[in-house]
A and B are shown apart, each in its own frame.
Chain A
Amino acid sequence: MARPIPATDVLLNLFGAPHQSDLVTSALRLATALLDRGARVQIWTCGDATGLTSAALGDTKPRDLTDLERRHPSTALIVRNLLADHPDRLYWYVCRFCADDRGAADQIPQVSKRSPFLFAEHVKAADKALVMGVC
Chain B
Amino acid sequence: MPGEVIQERARWLLIMEKAYRGSVETQFADALYVVPDLHRQSGGGCDLALRGPAVGYAVRTVAPQPPLRLGGRTLDTLPDPRASVTKVLDAGVTVLVEEPDLAALGRTAADRLLPGVQVIEPYGLAARWPSYEQVWFL
What residues of chain A lie closer than 8 Å to B25, measured between beta carbons? 18-19, 24-25, 52, 75
What residues of chain B lie closer than 8 Å to A35, measured between beta carbons? 71
Q: How far is the CA of A85 from the CA of B70 in the complex (A)?
A: 9
What residues of chain B lie closer than 8 Å to A78, measured between beta carbons? 24, 70, 73, 75
**Inter-chain contact B29/A61, CB cutoff 8 Å:** yes
Q: A18-B22, A22-B22, A78-B24 are in contact. Are A32 and B69 (CB under 8 A)?
A: yes
**Inter-chain contact B20/A21, CB cutoff 8 Å:** yes
Chain B 76-91: CB-based contact to A (< 8 A → 1; otherwise 0):
0110000000010000
Q: At the interface, is chain B mostly helix, strand, loop or mixed?
A: loop
**A111 close to B (CB within 8 Å):** no
**A70 close to B (CB within 8 Å):** yes
**Inter-chain contact B28/A72, CB cutoff 8 Å:** yes
**Inter-chain contact B22/A25, CB cutoff 8 Å:** yes
In the complex, given contacts A24-B22, A78-B70, A85-B72, what are 11 additional A-B residue pairs having Cβ atoms less than 8 angstroms apart?
A: A22-B23, A24-B23, A24-B24, A24-B25, A25-B23, A25-B68, A25-B78, A28-B70, A32-B69, A81-B70, A85-B73
Q: A21-B20, A24-B22 are in contact. Are A32 and B27 (CB under 8 A)?
A: no
Q: How far is the CA of A118 from the CA of B27 in the complex (A)?
A: 34
**A114 close to B (CB within 8 Å):** no
**B21 close to A (CB within 8 Å):** yes
Q: How far is the CA of A64 from the CA of B29 in the complex (A)?
A: 8
**Inter-chain contact B28/A85, CB cutoff 8 Å:** no
Q: A29-B70, A64-B28, A67-B28 are in contact. Are A21 and B75 (CB under 8 A)?
A: no
Provide a sorted-by-A list of 30 A–B residue pairs whose CB atoms are within 8 angstroms.
Answer: A18-B25, A19-B22, A21-B20, A21-B21, A21-B22, A24-B24, A24-B25, A25-B68, A25-B78, A28-B24, A28-B70, A29-B68, A32-B69, A32-B71, A61-B28, A62-B29, A64-B28, A66-B36, A70-B28, A73-B73, A75-B24, A75-B25, A78-B24, A78-B73, A81-B70, A81-B71, A81-B72, A82-B73, A85-B72, A86-B71
CB closest chain-A residue, reference B30: A19
Q: A32-B71, A35-B71, A81-B71 are in contact. Are A25 and B24 (CB under 8 A)?
A: yes
